[in-house]
Amino acid sequence: MSEFQIVIQSFLPVYTLLFGAVILLILDWTIGKKPVHKHIMPSISIITLIVAGYMVFIRPKDPSSFPGNPPLFYFGEFYAYFSLLAITAAFVIVLSAWKDMELELSLGVFYALLLIATAGILIIAGAMNFIPLYVGFEVLSISTYAMIGFKKKSRAAAEASIKYFLLGALASGILLFGISLFYGATHSLQLTSAVNVLNVIGTTKPNAYGLFVMALLVVGVGFKIAAVPFHVWVPDVYKGSSLSVTNFLAIGSKAGGFAFVFKIFLLSLITIKSGWAPVWAVLAILTMIVGNLAALPQVSVTRILAYSSIAHVGYILIALVSYAHGATEMATIGALYHLMANIFMKGTAFTVVLIVVYQTGGDTLEHFKGLSKRDPLTTFFMTIALLSLAGIPPFAGFFGKFFLFYSAVLSGDTYLAIIAIMMSAVSVFYYARIIYVMYFQEPSEANTETKTYPRFFILLFALTIGNIALFFGALFLTPQLVEFGSKVAQELAQFII
Amino acid sequence: MTAIPIEYPLILSSALFSLGVFGVITQKNAVRILIAIELIINAANINFVTFASYNPNADISGWVFALFIIAVAAGEAAIGLAIFINVFRNFGEINVKHLFTLREV
Amino acid sequence: MESEIIYYALGVVTSPFIGSLILTIFAFIHYAKTHGHEETEENNHEEHEEHGLKYTPLENFVSTIGILSIFASWVFMLLLAIKFFTTEHHGAFLTTSYDFFGFPVTQNIQVGLLVDALSVYMGLIVTTLALLIHMYAREYMHGDKGYPRFFATFNFFTGIMLSLVFSSSFFELFIFWELVGLSSYLLIGFWIFKPSAAHAAKKAFLYNKVGDVALLSGFLILYKLTGTLNFMELPDKIHNLTPLQTALISVLIFGGVIGKSAQFPLYTWLADAMEGPTPVSAILHSSTMVKAGVYMVARVFFLYWQAHEGEYNFAGDNWALAVVAWVAAITALLAGLQALVENEIKRILAYSTVSQISYMVLALGAGSKTAAMYHLLSHATFKALLFLTAGAVIHVVHTNNIWEMGNLRKKIPKTFTAMLIGAIGLSGFPGISGFWSKDAVLATVYYSDVPGNKILFTLGVVTAFITALYTTRFIIVVFFREPTPENIERVEHAHDGGFFLTIPPLIMAALVILESLTFIPTPIFKFEEWLMEWLEPGVHAHEVALTLPILSAIVVLLGIGTGIYLYYYNYNILASLNQNKVIIPIREFIAQRYYIDKVLYWIANVPAMIVSRLLQDIDIKIIDRTIIDTWIVKGSLGLAKISDVFDQGIIDGIVNGVWMIALTLGRAFRKLQTGIVSNYASIFAAALVIFLGYVNFLIFIK
Amino acid sequence: MGWFLEANFILIGIITILMAFGTLSTKKVMRAAAFLLLTLVGVALTYLFLGFEFLMGIQITVYAGGILILFLFSVLLTGHEEFKMDLEFAKENIVQILISILLFFTLTALMLSIYGNYQLTGNELVLQAQTKGLTQDFSVALFSHFNYVLPILGVLLFSAMLGSVKLVLREEEL
């Protein structure tokens, strides 16, 4: 294969997504005003996503064959996994936006933005140099800014978009400053260059470079993944943006953010892990505690889920710490698995909130009262999602937490596992509260709407099946999972010299 | 040809960065906040150019990145200003200290 | 071959769970449909025969699923048993076990199925009885609003018990052991609207927990010392332990048995557990929960045997088995006496269960697994039968008190026949199943080298006499004695229940007879020897002198005769005995359960009392006189009261306090959410400054 | 010669910082944009001093010429707000001011201590290379090694365009 062919083949998923976006735009200009467009646009997005997913599988076999010295991209297992995560997440968003965005004009633009954002995650997952990494990160961010503000008539969405934009731009600026310091320390923007330069043991300066870089990068990425104390935007933005976009923030954008975090911390700054591990440990503890405790007094289910999503970030951050302390395989498995489980759990939960908002016009616990009587199936799916979020078997959330906590135990950070377990116990309170309200309370007079939405049903069904299948997958295919985890871990570790 | 000591551009970038952060956290008008963010980005850019110029490895990817950053900043400014206009249409102002309808009660 | 056995075992274990899963989902939907008000006092189940026996479609569906899943399990069990016993696997362990989630660190904790003679034997008993009791419950629970919930829990319970039986490691066994406790809690407290039921469930749970603490510490020490919990590996590993360690572990594990299998002094919960529905009592007492303790000791019998090696010496270390045997013998006697003075039919049976389980534990203490499992089989069958028939009796006469019944043999002939057969079995009537197994136990004790084996034997014989006496007592009072005038009407309307209320007991009665026939030792086939060959290969039974069975038979007949004489022919003697000044306090002492509950409460509450006293002392200096007075008044109201105060004031206080702290913190975190971007950005900047400070600290100061 | 360059750099630096402060403290947003223009030009001149004149051109054309127009338009479209950096402001934002000052000092201290006195020989090396056609090297790198990143930048600008067009256009105009 020629160099050009390899490049084309490697970029095929990204090209597919962009091609889909362009098609959507052309359609938007031509048939954008006809009522049928609200079905055509999501359908095309779905086809594009499926093709892109297929393209991920047929990428070149040898990931190191990408041209350039050193290559700017590396399309290995890590890339493949996060691409599939992003595509699955986008898939969920398309299906939930199908109804949510129905009444908007120029829908093609929305789906195009979604596809471009997905492409951004793919670029992050594949990049081995700070330039494409940062540009991919900005592709994701800019598309997300536009998506949040997409419902122009909605004041809440406008406010959410300006908040997310201003904080995002600030975080991005700080991140950029951090990258510039990285460049100053290593004289190169290649991610792996730090591994060599900062690997000088016994001299304080390389470590000092790394620590300084770390301080700025933590702030930059902390915003994207919503780690405490950079989580403050989460409740407002999740509440303000329309729920399908919220869903994207919770599952898609988060996967991209974590790909970014892993790229930087597990690949690039791994040699100064003794510097950043305590920082992430503190942030993980704070994130778990604040996320879970702040969710307790909430009445809006969206906000409860927003805080729960913060808490789950805390659980995943455990993986960073335990990776640094030696439990590389288990931490990798835990993080990757939990991100996938997150898609199924959060995807279901936010979709159900969307349905309830459509049925009753609100998302507080009041509106969830007696949901089981109005819409038993939806309630059932929501219950499974919540149980899964709480980490109760036989749902994927159990193994997500199990692997993460177990990795903490393996690496000797038992205190993290203990705090995490305690906080998980706290989390059961607010999940159980929703379940209780749905099953055991009478619906209020006003909320008697029983309309159901078949499209959502298919989505919820698929997500729930995925959730349970993921659990049993972990149960029965543990050796394969371990194998995959060690493969990814090795892929990350192969650059350390 | 003697050159400028590296400390000078570094102090400049540090000052611009701090001023930018100061602007972001004190200003009320969203446009001014965006301007402050531009200051931060410029600070980073100065760093890149400085480190590229004082580079023993003759690596010029810092310059390339500086160019990319200008383009990214343009994109960010464009989307940001569009968002401001959208907010202005909805709220009649872009004073961020007045935009707290999403606050929890 | 082996894989076949494992698949059968998997089928046995999973079928009830599958049924339970379906039923749980169904129960949830049903629960939601009935608007969450599942049941109230008015909807009690006992009103149903007025409407005749019309099952609602819901009940049909639920009970069919429930029974079918157990039936599937039973069929698998039969196949497994046939396969196992027809192939020569003397003492061989067939297991499948895989590493715990595949991670190497915990490789010694395994999850798997252990199929050996013991588990197959026990599984056969459990599935057979569970199947019959499920069928019985189909009719018994008819009309109850919690029908789906009942079957879901019941199936779950059966599945848990089967999983316990097939556990391959101590770790797994402990998990299911705890789950048995949990699901029994759900079953005993099934009628949650009854405070007594809720209390009984709580009591059962707590008493079990006390034992479980001992069990947990026991097997953790075992794990620490041997590094494995796998039943297959343990027998080889324990040789490295010192006798003292083995004895300590054995006794701690026996602590768990004391809780679960209702041994002295933690046996009183079992009688209170009668608040659950009758099928629950039947399954708890016949083959599952309370037998789990016996089963566990049999499972880790090598441990006790290890402790038993060598001479008995109370000053030394080898006293584990002696503790077991003595506790058992005392329990047998105490519970037997208790059964003699009880008036409620189910409680009589409950104490009788305690007494009979003690026989099994006694056999274990005397060093024979075979005798214990032998008695377990015969007892399981007739006790299930007795409970089912007792349930039917209660069902038709609407009372629990035997003195409010009478002369029922003509009204409910089928039930009577079945119950009589069960009672004969229980009493140990010569030639019937209970006789042979009890005889095996007594012989074991007689020939064992446990310290004081002759005294133990005497206690066993006395208990046999008492058993015969109280069995005769309740049979005569319920079925033969003329009812008192005020109860005549109640008895008049009694009639046999429907198909499912009568057939399962009759099948069980047939099983009792079948067992009796099997147990008769003939030169060709001796059941005990056959069982011993499977369970304890290489061990040989003592030659039992003929005097022992004859003595036993005489004692039993004497007991029955005394019973008939006292309660049927010459009731006056009993009446005058009851008036006797000496008898009354004894009777009262027994009826008050030897004040065990009171003592236990007292023991549990002494620390609480001390703490509350301390708090009181502190209060005196701070709070004014009136409050102190109330405290003292409260204190003088009794220890239980103080414990209540302690419970509510301190425990609830701590719980509420933690909750309040969490909530307050949550609210405080919410305060961060000002909604203003600048403030959020300030938080970012502050965090950045802190990080930079941290880096400064690391670089310049450290 | 050296001291002259240094003095010039210091002067331009100080002016740039003052202009940057001006963007934040001036009364009207429009003036803030004008100050930003001056700041950007100052930064561009810094690039010249650092030996990268090509980026100076880019900075002035794209940033000062392009992005600034965006700012001016948005200021015109979103109305004006009076702003005063007075005692009242200081009182309200005391914590923020403290944070910023702390940030400046910690950051500068770290930057100078870690990156200061930086490989002076290397410095000489590169600044001499610049005289041999830096812009040429730069473009070669851009179009050989980094040519796969350029399309991604295109994607970024494309999505920014899409988003801003959607957000700014009035729907009735479609």
User: How far from A314 is each of A226, A281, A401, CA to CA, in Å?
Assistant: 9, 9, 11
Which of B21, B28, B96 has the CB atom closest to C685's CB atom? B21
Question: Is the omega angle on the peptide bond into residue A393 within 30 degrees of 0, that is, cis?
Answer: no
Within 8 A of C678 by CB-CB distance, chain D residues are: 96
pLDDT of residue B21: 93
Residues A111-144 as b or e (16 or more Cβ within 10 Å = b): bbbbbbbbbbbbbbbbbbbbbbbbbbbbbbbbbb
Asked if pLDDT for residue C630 goes beyond 70, the answer is no
pLDDT of residue C374: 85
Q: Return the residue in C677, C679, C682, C691 with the most chain B beta carbons within 10 A, the one to mutate for interface testing.
A: C677
Structure-block tokens of residue A158: 């406008």
Alpha-carbon distance A285 to A228, whole Å?
9
Q: Look at A274-288, B36-50, C387-401 and tell me which has the smallest mean pLDDT.
A: C387-401
Asked if pLDDT for residue D174 goes beyond 50, the answer is no
Q: Could you report the per-residue pLDDT of A346-384, keeping only the tens digit for each?
A: 999 999 999 888 888 888 888 888 888 788 888 889 989
Alpha-carbon distance A407 to A413, whole Å?
8
Residues 6+ apart with CB under 8 A from A396: A337, A340, A341, A344, A345, A388, A466, A467, A468, A470, A471, A474
Q: Could you report the per-residue pLDDT of C664-695, keeping only the tens digit for each?
A: 777 777 777 788 888 888 889 999 999 888 88
pLDDT of residue C641: 46
Within 8 A of D84 by CB-CB distance, chain B residues are: none
Average pLDDT over residues C16-44: 64
* Cβ pair A107, A37 in contact under 8 A: yes
Alpha-carbon distance D53 to D42, whole Å?
13
The answer to whether residue B33 neighbours chain C at the CB level (below 8 Å) is yes
CA atoms within 13 A on the CB side of C43: 14
Residues 6+ apart with CB under 8 A from D64: D37, D40, D41, D44
Average pLDDT over residues A437-456: 74
Chain D, nearest residue to C694 by Cα? D106
Confidence of residue A175 (pLDDT cuts 50, 70, 90): very high
Question: For C344, which DSSP code?
Answer: B
Average pLDDT over residues C247-272: 80
Compute the CA torsion angle A450, A451, A454, A457 (nearest 10 deg).
-40
Compute the CA torsion angle D56, D59, D62, D68 (nearest 10 deg).
-140
Structure-block tokens of residue C692: 């930079």
* Cβ pair A45, A111 in contact under 8 A: yes
* Subunit contact D96:C685, Cβ cutoff 8 A: yes
Q: Could you report the per-residue pLDDT of C577-607, keeping only the tens digit for each?
A: 667 777 777 767 776 666 666 666 666 556 6
Characterize the bridge pairing of strands C110-115 and C94-99. Answer: antiparallel
Residues A221-233 as b or e (16 or more Cβ within 10 Å = b): bbbbbbbbbbbbb
Average pLDDT over residues C76-80: 87
Chain D, nearest residue to A28 by Cα? D174
Per DSSP, what are the bridge partners of residue C96? C113
Structure-block tokens of residue C365: 């203490």
Structure-block tokens of residue A170: 């600030």
Alpha-carbon distance C565 to A33, whole Å?
100
Angle at A149 between CA A146 and CA A151, to 5 degrees: 120
Alpha-carbon distance C339 to C360, whole Å?
18
Average pLDDT value over all residues in chain C: 75
Q: How many residues does chain C have?
A: 702
Task: State phi, psi for D98 to the nearest 5 degrees.
Answer: -60, -45
Q: Return the residue in A138, A147, A153 with the most chain D beta carbons within 10 A, the one to mutate for interface testing.
A: A138
* Cβ pair A134, A128 in contact under 8 A: no
Task: State phi, psi for D19 to the nearest 5 degrees.
Answer: -65, -40
Residues 6+ apart with CB under 8 A from A494: none
Chain C, nearest residue to A376 by Cα? C29
Which among C123, C104, C103, C105 is positioned nearest to C113, based on CA atoms? Answer: C123
Task: State phi, psi for C151 to the nearest 5 degrees.
Answer: -65, -35
In DSSP notation, C91-140 reads T--EEEEEEGGG-GGGTTSEEEEEESHHHHHHHHHHHHHHHHHHHHHHHH
**Residue C344: alpha-carbon gap to chain centroid:** 19
In DSSP notation, C406-432 reads --TTTTSHHHHHHHHHHHHHHHT-TTS
Asked if pLDDT for residue B1 goes beyond 50, the answer is no
Which of D110, D149, D163 has the CB atom closest to A113's CB atom? D163
Structure-block tokens of residue C295: 């089963």
* Subunit contact D160:A142, Cβ cutoff 8 A: yes
Q: How many residues does chain A have?
A: 497
Q: Give the minimum alpha-carbon distance from B101 to chain D in angstroms, rounded to a whole number.
A: 19
Average pLDDT over residues D104-117: 85
Average pLDDT over residues A171-187: 90
Q: Return the residue in D21, D23, D106, D143 with the most chain B beta carbons within 10 A, the one to mutate for interface testing.
A: D23
Other Cβ atoms closer than 10 A to D157: 17
Compute the CA torsion angle D140, D142, D148, D154 (nearest 10 deg).
-140
Task: State phi, psi for C76 to the nearest 5 degrees.
Answer: -60, -40
Asked if pLDDT for residue D122 goes beyond 50, the answer is no
Location of structure tokens 């999501």: A42
C239 vs A146 pLDDT, higher one: A146
Q: Give the minimum alpha-carbon distance from A429 to chain B in angstroms, rounded to a whole number.
A: 20
Asked if pLDDT for residue A254 goes beyond 80, the answer is yes
pLDDT of residue B63: 86
pLDDT of residue C542: 67
* Subunit contact B16:D20, Cβ cutoff 8 A: yes
Alpha-carbon distance A497 to B6, whole Å?
31
* Subunit contact D146:A113, Cβ cutoff 8 A: no
In DSSP notation, A411-427 reads HT-HHHHHHHHHHHHHH
Asked if pLDDT for residue C643 goes beyond 50, the answer is no
Helix, coil or strand: residue A177: helix
Residues 359-398 of chain A with CB under 8 A from chain C are: 372-373, 376, 379-380
pLDDT of residue C614: 57
Q: Which chains have 3+ CB pairs within 8 A of B?
A: A, C, D
The answer to whether residue D24 neighbours chain B at the CB level (below 8 Å) is yes
Q: Look at A160-164, A386-390, C559-563 and tell me which has the smallest mean pLDDT.
A: C559-563
Alpha-carbon distance C17 to C520, whole Å?
38
Structure-block tokens of residue C110: 């395994």
Helices (DSSP H) in A32-106: which residue ranges?
37-57, 77-100
* Cβ pair A361, A298 in contact under 8 A: no
* Subunit contact A169:B96, Cβ cutoff 8 A: no
Other Cβ atoms closer than 10 A to C36: 14
Helix pair angle (C625-636, C639-646), 10° resolution? 130
Per DSSP, what are the bridge partners of residue A300? A364
Structure-block tokens of residue C607: 């620390």
Give the burial class of C147: count Cβ atoms within 10 A of its Cβ; 0-12 exposed, 13-18 middle, 19 or more buried: buried
Q: Could you report the per-residue pLDDT of D24-77, keeping only the tens digit for each?
A: 888 888 888 889 999 999 999 888 888 778 888 888 888 888 888 888 888 888
Which among C317, C296, C306, C295 is positioned nearest to C367, based on CA atoms? Answer: C306
Within 8 A of A212 by CB-CB distance, chain C residues are: 692, 695
